[in-house]
Amino acid sequence: MRIGILGSGDVAKSLARGFLSEAHEVMLGSRDPGKLAAWARESGGHASAGTFADTATFGELLAIAVPGTSAVDAIQLAGIGTFTGKIVIDVTNPLDMSGMPPRLVGGLGTSAGELIQHAVPDAFVVKAFNTAGNATFYKPQFAGGPPDMFLCGDDAKAKETVATICTAFGWNVIDVGGIALAHYLEALAMVWIITAFSGNHWNQAFKLLRQ
């Protein structure tokens, strides 16, 4: 499948590594795609870089890996129409980065997941990967077994597709519900971020234990 990832940072590149390892074609998007030339060269023939518009046009499935507070700006730069009918993985967290650890912005009704779905009503937004550290996106190795990937979104088929991707990447999938619950996944990401900062635990992941 052709995967278009809006973003040029560590998260976009970690996701790309997973998709490339799973034999997909990947384009990363940036306002300045020239800075991704070395990444594209080093990542092999199935990797390329373009503008946000190039990337959203290229991708049959899209992912958004920009700051949650800039996600709608990135979508507008890409062009709303390029999202029509596509699954969009929302990897973002909307953070105020003015202090460390960062603080969460938005709430129920104003989460990044909901604002993204609202911006692209003809696309199928699935929030996923936002509660994981990018170093463990692909084939996470933990003594306790595969960690849990929480996802939410309104379209059952889109969630099935994203769940299949998460499983291939090495995660156990937990479907939390509709996109209206995105705020809770964004808040859960804050638990990951705060405990990472306070304990210097950058390789950690969530797992629900059940009987």
Q: Which stretch binds ligand NAP (CB under 6 A): 132-140, 149-157, 162-170, 171-179?
A: 132-140
Q: Does 96 bind ligand NAP (CB under 6 A)?
A: no
β-pairing, 124-127 vs 148-153, is: antiparallel
| Spatial contact of 185 and 131, defined as CB atoms under 8 Å apart | yes
For residue 47 the two structure tokens come to 């990797």
CB 173 within 8 A of CB 149: yes
- Is 11 one of the binding residues for ligand NAP (CB under 6 A)? yes
Binding residue (CB under 6 A) for ligand NAP from 1, 24, 39, 73 = 73
Q: How far is CA 62 from CA 2, 58, 78, 107, 171, in A?
A: 9, 9, 11, 24, 19
Which CB sits closer to ligand NAP, 11 or 88?
A: 11
Is 129 a residue that touches ligand NAP (CB under 6 A)? yes
Q: Which two tokens stand for residue 11?
A: 């998260």
Work out which of 18, 50, 59, 67 binds ligand NAP, going by CB under 6 A: 67
Q: What angle do CA 207, 117, 119 make, to 5 degrees?
A: 145
Stretch that binds ligand NAP, among 17-25, 55-63, 128-136, 152-160 (CB under 6 A): 128-136
- The nearer residue to ligand NAP, 63 or 87, going by C-beta atoms, is 63
Residues that bind ligand NAP (CB under 6 A): 7-12, 30-32, 65-68, 70, 73-74, 91-93, 95, 129-130, 132-134
